[in-house]
Chain A
Amino acid sequence: MDDSTLSLSVTGMTCAACVASVERVLGDVDGVASVSVNLPLEKAVISLNTSVSEEDRERCLAAVERAGFGASELVPALQVRRNNEAHVSDLARQVTLAFALTLPVFVLSMVLDDLGSWGPLDARLTAAMLAALPVYAYCGAAFHRKAWTSLRQGTTNMDVLVHLGTTVAMVWSSLVTLSPLLLFLPAYVGGAEHVFFDGAAFIIAFVLLGNYLEAKAKLKATDAVHSLMRLQPKEAWVVVDEGTVATPVDNIGRGTLLKVRAGETVPLDGVVEDSTALMDESMMTGESFPVRKSEGDTVAAGTVVMDSTLFVRTTALVGDTMLAKVIRLVDEAQMGKAPIQRLVDRIAGVFVPVVVVAALIASAVWWFMADTLAPNGMMSSNEMAVMVLVSTLVIACPCALGLATPTALVVGTGRGARYGLLIKGIEALEQAHATSTIVLDKTGTITAGSPRVSHIELRDGDVEELVCLASSLEAESTHPIASAVHTAWENMGYGRPEVSDVRTFPGLGLVGSLDGEAVGVGNVELMEELLTNLPADLEQAVAQRARRGVTVVLVAKGQRLLGWLEISDRIRETSSAAVKRLKQAGINVVMLTGDREEVAQSVGDAVGITNIVAGVKPDEKAEHIRRLQETGVVAMIGDGINDAAALTVANVGIAMGAGSEIALESADIVLVRNDLADAVAALELGRATMTRIRTNLAWAFVYNLIGLPLAMGLLFPWTGWLLPPAFAAAAMSLSSVSVVSNALLLRWWQPSAMLRSGEI
């Protein structure tokens, strides 16, 4: 990719004047040679005079935003991946170099005995010093630099510990080595026998190893997202007059007709035209059962056409497809900082200064009192003091602590994405773990959300009249009941009389007029308003059906009750298994619905929910959630559209079916599939991840707890145990490795198989 080209995504351009504005505004920016703006692709490609710098990026983005548009850099996802991979390779090289240079230091310090003298200096020590210098100064350069940056800002971090530890070790050891030349030094320096060149070198090598492992783990953990990216085809077959032409996906605007052949992957989200095919949606949803898509159905980029050719009219640009949104979602979730992570950062911030002080105190104690406290022949008190100082600083390195959470979270969210569980914020995982109550919406969540007319009861007139009237009144309604009525009417193939003056009465039904008479469709209350003599058994008949989970929609014309339509909603297969699973986990399951008490009750009985709140109006849902929150952490599952407010109020908002923008906006977790079982899986994932984080943190603490006293020499008087700096470095590295490995074990997490098949 060209160094001097910058591509931006520009939103908000509505017409040619906007294009001109963007071109003008960007053209005015320093260093810009030319600009090309594409309206349908919402893209601006900028050519600069030199290679693109950070300032250039900032200036261009700012200029576009000041003009009132939205701007963000269009970095091809593949480029980000390549950058990360390059970073990891770079670190690998650094680690190899560090260990390679450390080896001679190790040999010279620990293996060889005496090599004679170079003039007044000891040859072995001098060689060790010269071998260690490159490691300290070159391999360790970043640590020293970052340590000073941190100190200048008044904070301490891991780099400070590494810098202090290695510097003390190097300075002391060099002074000892050069003491024959530096006659002004006190005698105890020259008399010292122990130097710590190997310690300093190993510290740097091991910390670099830790950094490499962390970067590698992050790369591996984002494999899940990366494999999602690979689903995106780079080219598509655009239908033109003469046939089709292969076009890069980046250049396809909305409303373009594409041809997708059997075996090919759908390149962009769109609507099917004039064709039908079986689709494999498993990469997106984990659902392996083929789905049929026909005229008017939406298809998503990343799914595969199985048997025949499909024509798709695009509805999204390559950056706006469901696939792209999922990738961005997972990516952002993985980059976010969880509350627990912030806590760890704060602890580390306090921890480091405390450790430095403790190290200095311990060191001072040994310096002055070693000979009296615990005389030993191995080393002088001064040497011991220095060793204790270095080792304490190193072993206290909270890098394991810093790694514990992010690695597990990154792996966890990535794994979730693989199963269609899109965790939007890392806080969501933490809250999911702590959930004590879960609130379920009925229609569309527990039930399939597609009610059907199951029976037509006739009291007067004929079926045609009843169905046509009901359908006509409900013509403009988007209520699920209306769609059931429409479907029934369509299947019957009747004509439709025009009903006029249609008015909606919320909670009751619809009323209009036809042939001079008042007509109505709705519930019993509405009939009581319209009709003077209701059949006596009506109330009971309706209630009886409601107890079976059937909704009754009555139709009246003038003063005649024509009859009613019985509408029932299919309960999803996995719902009762999911509810059972939730209860087993000790979670209180509550159903919240706007539907009637009896219908809710019967659905509740079918799936095993006893806590039911029925007849809840949409604006009351949020209030119910708040009340439940007084008892604990509340999760809410809904379809996102009319539950938006409640989802936001809940601690964990879970939206099913990833189609609507509102779902993505208001929910913390988005389930790609419309399956309650996935919500349970999401909660399970939250628990698995949090458990792993906790064990990691405990592990990291234990390491420090054992290592610190050991390094400080607290056990020395009784056991003679000390921790040489090299060992301290190795131990610290080991703790990082084990924490990262433990987190990576999450890669094998799976939703329990039982949930997927619906059995339990």
Chain B
Amino acid sequence: MSEVTHTLTITGMTCGGCSGRVTRVLEATEGVISADISHQSNSGVIVTTEALSTDDVVAIVATTGFDVRA
């Protein structure tokens, strides 16, 4: 299974707690291999299996309440 890297822009995160929360939610999702979220740079780099498309990842991040774009 090869890995896919998705780079997203996530705005609205103001502190480590926020980015930590997004990381937790992602890492708890099946198919997510790693998630690197930074509130300072408003970005997220998420590595997943092929099972997840970028739209899927965007949707998951959206459930945390932040604005997210691919």
**Which residues in A have some Cβ–Cβ distance to B below 8 Å?**
12-18, 20-25, 63, 66-69
Report whether A68 and B14 are in contact in the complex, using a CB–CB cutoff of 8 Å: no
Q: Which residues of A contact B17 (CB under 8 A)?
A: 12-15, 18
Given contacts A25-B65, A66-B63, contact A18 B25 (CB under 8 A): no
Report whether A20 and B12 are in contact in the complex, using a CB–CB cutoff of 8 Å: yes
Q: Mark B18-33, 1 if CB is under 8 A from A, else 0.
A: 1001101100000000
Given contacts A20-B12, A21-B12, contact A15 B65 (CB under 8 A): no
- A26 and chain B: residue at smallest CB distance: B65
Given contacts A21-B64, A21-B66, A24-B65, contact A68 B25 (CB under 8 A): yes
Contact partner, A67, options B12, B13, B25, Cβ 8 Å: B25
Contact partner, A14, options B12, B15, B64, Cβ 8 Å: B15
Q: Which residues of A contact B14 (CB under 8 A)?
A: 15-17
C-alpha spacing A20/B18, complex, angstroms: 11
Report whether B21 and A25 are in contact in the complex, using a CB–CB cutoff of 8 Å: no
- B64 and chain A: residue at smallest CB distance: A67
**Which residues in B have some Cβ–Cβ distance to A below 8 Å?**
12-18, 21-22, 24-25, 63-66
User: In angstroms, how far is the closest chain B Cβ from the Cβ of A393?
Assistant: 49
Q: Which residues of B contact A21 (CB under 8 A)?
A: 12, 18, 64-66
Report whether A17 and B13 are in contact in the complex, using a CB–CB cutoff of 8 Å: yes
Report whether B21 and A18 are in contact in the complex, using a CB–CB cutoff of 8 Å: yes
Q: Which residues of A contact B65 (CB under 8 A)?
A: 20-25, 67
User: In angstroms, how far is the closest chain B Cβ from the Cβ of A66?
Assistant: 5
Report whether A66 and B25 are in contact in the complex, using a CB–CB cutoff of 8 Å: yes
- A17 and chain B: residue at smallest CB distance: B14
User: In angstroms, how far is the closest chain B Cβ from the Cβ of A28?
Assistant: 9
C-alpha spacing A215/B66, complex, angstroms: 47
Contact partner, A18, options B18, B24, B63, Cβ 8 Å: B18
User: In angstroms, how far is the closest chain A Cβ from the Cβ of B41?
Assistant: 15
C-alpha spacing A22/B66, complex, angstroms: 10
Report whether A15 and B18 are in contact in the complex, using a CB–CB cutoff of 8 Å: yes
- A64 and chain B: residue at smallest CB distance: B65
C-alpha spacing A12/B17, complex, angstroms: 8
- A67 and chain B: residue at smallest CB distance: B64
User: In angstroms, how far is the closest chain B Cβ from the Cβ of A1?
Assistant: 28
Q: Which residues of A contact B15 (CB under 8 A)?
A: 14-15, 17
- B28 and chain A: residue at smallest CB distance: A68
C-alpha spacing A17/B12, complex, angstroms: 6
- B21 and chain A: residue at smallest CB distance: A68
Q: Which residues of B contact A14 (CB under 8 A)?
A: 15-18
C-alpha spacing A25/B64, complex, angstroms: 7
What 18 additional pairs, Cβ within 8 angstroms, besides A18-B17, A63-B63, A68-B25? A12-B21, A14-B16, A15-B18, A16-B14, A17-B12, A17-B13, A17-B14, A18-B18, A18-B21, A20-B65, A21-B12, A22-B65, A66-B25, A66-B63, A66-B64, A68-B21, A68-B22, A68-B24
Q: Which residues of A contact B64 (CB under 8 A)?
A: 21, 25, 66-68
User: In angstroms, how far is the closest chain A Cβ from the Cβ of B28?
Assistant: 9
Q: List 19 A-B contacts (CB under 8 A).
A: A12-B21, A15-B15, A17-B14, A18-B21, A20-B12, A21-B12, A21-B64, A21-B66, A24-B65, A25-B63, A25-B65, A66-B63, A67-B21, A67-B64, A67-B65, A68-B24, A68-B25, A68-B64, A69-B21
